Amino acid sequence: MGKQHGDIFAKCYTWEDAKRLQEAGLYPFFREIESTTGSAVVVDGKRRVMIGSNNYLGLTHHPRVIEAAKRAVEIYGVGCTGSRFLNGNLDLHRQLEEGLATYLGKEKALVFSTGFFANQGALSTLVGRSDVIYSDRENHASIIEGTRLALGDTLKFAHNDMEDLERILIQTRDKYKGALIVADGVFSMSGDILQLPKVVELAKKYECRVYVDDAHALGVLGPKGEGTGHHFGCQDDVDLVMGTFSKSFASIGGYIAGKADIVDYIRHKARPFMFSAALPPASTASVLECLRIAQEEPQHLQNLWKNARKMSEALTGMGYNTLNSQTPIIPLLIGDDLETFAFTKALHEAGVFATPVVSPAVPKGCALMRTSYMASHSAEDLDYALTVLKKLGEQFGILGNEERMNAMNELARNHFGHRAVAPA
């Protein structure tokens, strides 16, 4: 007879990781949020200060954004019921794309229904069999999935390490026709900023194109939150910029922006764009209003950075290893996965909502608490979070323990040993 058959679902029945954490009372995921405000959430009937959100500009509750969503529902209903390629293309989508292109300083923009689809669609469409992607090792999962679908090769370089990137370029560039250097502008776990000017320099030297994922830079970096290219004054040298609306712009969706011919090609070739339903009217209108607010109300960006600097200085001063983060994403290096889950639980019980990050999202033994801050945080809420973090840091032996702190510093050097780039 032939080979013995097996059940494709067998692995599901024997997978125990989540069950073990649930039985130990340490499972930190899928916590149900019952309501939200500018800087807090209600979970299990209790208010908790939120320091795990990507709502950087604090616009999810802005009156103008809420009103824009309501108006869109009244005019267009609640959904488009089809792809933009066919029956789901609204005038709102065009208005958003035109506004984005102007804001970002690009010829044209294309809006996808998710940021994940934007990366997946653009990369898989542009990179052919004779082409190569040079990808930072800490790039977001959506970039990784895009590179897997791309027909060409993907070569990874050490995180934010321009010497390693050039080493690989020297060794491999002549083997390929087209080449694309792809990296996050702000890295979502470590919170550091891509060395974009050096990337641009290498791209020109080795005849590559540059693709920057600004998911965590939109609304955060640049004079008006326009992103990494504007932060460094080299936006014209970035061939394609991608971003999401699920963070600073308070909704969902994503975009690609660049030269008109390139964007038009993606528009007519990218399957995740062509064969997925259009961004719903309320979401589109919300993002469009966020775009206007980002340009008309600079106080949100100012408040964001005031809060981020306060927390960075305080947490570093306590003795936490924050991996030299230079953005509102401030990781707290813990080390052990289970200890990080226990720390998360203790934070939650004390009224602070934060998110743990463990392997494989970070190297094994480098688990961390990913904290992030918003323009809408009040001083009182931030002070409360700091009080809790100091108490628990001491309780867990993370703070005030010289041996432990030295070990954390060694971990950081070994696994996150990039050169942080300070804001301009």
Q: Which helix (H) or strand (E) holds 46?
A: strand 46-50
Residue of 93, 140, 159, 216 with catalytic role: 216
**CA–CA separation, 160 vs 185, rounded Å?**
10
Instruction: Assess contact for 294 and 224: CB atoms under 8 A.
Output: yes
- The closest of 264, 206, 220, 257 to 236, measured between CA atoms, is 257
Q: Where are the alpha helices (DSSP H) in 270-422?
A: 271-274, 281-296, 299-318, 337-349, 379-395, 402-415
**CA–CA separation, 50 vs 30, rounded Å?**
15
Q: Give me the amino acid identity at 86.
A: L
SS percent in the chain: helix, strand, coil, step 5:
45, 15, 40
- The closest of 110, 188, 103 to 144, measured between CA atoms, is 188
**CA–CA separation, 311 vs 49, rounded Å?**
14
**CA–CA separation, 50 vs 28, rounded Å?**
14
CB neighbour class for 225 (10 Å; exposed up to 12, middle 13-18, buried from 19): buried
Q: Is 247 a catalytic residue?
A: yes
| 411 C-beta neighbours (distance < 10 Å), count | 20
Q: What is the distance of C-alpha 18 from the center of its chain?
A: 24
**CA–CA separation, 183 vs 181, rounded Å?**
7
Residue of 140, 230, 231, 247 with catalytic role: 247
Q: Is 83 a catalytic residue?
A: no
Q: How many helices (H) and strands (E) does the chain have?
A: 16, 14
Q: Which helix (H) or strand (E) holds 179?
A: strand 179-184
Query: Could you list the active site residues?
Result: 188, 216, 247
